Structure 1
Amino acid sequence: MIKEMSDKDELIDAQKQVIGILFEVIKRLQANNDLDEEYFQIISKEQKDEIRIKEIQNERKENAKIVGRLLEQLET
């Protein structure tokens, strides 16, 4: 009986971790979508705001790295 409770608790904890990771993945991918939109607005207006463009590119790269690490966690 105690082992069953422990197994169920472990399963619940694992499910919570997966849900947390997936939530973070979705959040980061949505952030990249928002950055894409801003990026294309800047480009389409032919603004030469190179600083913001570089910030957007850097933030997108960081989000992609984090998503990669989070998805690796799901594999293990």
Structure 2
Amino acid sequence: MSERSKDELIEAQKQVIGVLFEVIKRLQANNDLDEEYFQIISEDSKNKTRLNEIIVERTENAEIVGRLLKELEI
């Protein structure tokens, strides 16, 4: 294997690791938001604004995870 091929392989591996790290970070953020969401619901709170913010952020995280995983398919 040529030196250039090795360098390209190492770069590709770094990119995959970076994408997977971001996926894990986003999924963990959604888990944290789930916990907060259920706490707010269980308190029978009228804090609808925060619930809406959580839903928007969870949706955004899920969309980003989907895009990142599609990048890995290429």
TM-score normalised by the chain length of structure 2: 0.98
The CA RMSD measured in Å over matched residues stands at 0.8
Q: Which consecutive residues of structure 1, in runs of 5 or more, have no partner in the other structure? A: none
Counterpart in the other structure of 1:60 = 58
Identity %: 70
Counterpart in the other structure of 1:7 = 5
Aligned length: 74
Q: Given the alignment of the two structures, is residue 46 of structure 1 paired with residue 38 of structure 2, yes or no?
A: no
Q: Which consecutive residues of structure 2, in runs of 5 or more, have no partner in the other structure? A: none
Shift of 1:45: 0.6
